[in-house]
Chain A
């Protein structure tokens, strides 16, 4: 597509439930990133996919967080047993994989855990 698409744009969930967030990258972009933005904070790196290589999961805050990506297509970020501190905007970005050229962010999913 023309841009990075994320869904849903807003999600309210009860504490303890699992949630799935979706990211559809720009067509042809081999690299995909997930970031988290908590209120009043900058963005924190969560996970990075590059083609068929093993993902860089170094930013995932706990084992309740996981993400998948099949090839160079859609990615899903899953948060299990959500906690109130998981409330944040989750932003996805994709790039051509050639350094930072074409690094483009989606509009994010605002997750609220009540």
Chain B
């Protein structure tokens, strides 16, 4: 069965600092991988996704993520964090076929200090 691990429950960074959120997955084949952001009281917004091809994926709001098959990782990065980036971030893996269900990690809560 597929699974996703986000080892950091909470992360605090200063505004303007760089950010990396970790995500490790378990899946028997090449996965579909996603990062979502959830602000308080909001639904999930897709930041970026990896299906195939270039392993460095660019997303919205200046985020990027790199798929590393050897490490089963899909870490999210941003070179300079803005206060508005404070939110909860979820990594997810999607099964190929079988209904396109998503399996989510437990999330990383990002706090940005001004």
* Chain A residues within 8 Å of B, Cβ to Cβ: 4, 31, 33, 35, 40-45, 48, 50, 56, 59, 91, 95, 99-100, 103, 105-108
Contact = CB atoms under 8 A, between A and B. Distances in A.
Nearest to B104: A42
Contacts of A43: 44, 90, 92, 102, 104
Interface residues of B, number: 26
Nearest to B45: A105
B73 interface: no
Interface string B13-38: 00000000000000000001010100
B43 A108 contact: yes
Nearest to A56: B99
A50 B51 CA distance: 21
Given A41-B106, A50-B99, 16 more contacts: A4-B43, A31-B100, A33-B101, A35-B104, A41-B107, A42-B90, A43-B104, A45-B101, A45-B102, A91-B44, A99-B51, A100-B94, A103-B46, A103-B100, A105-B43, A107-B41
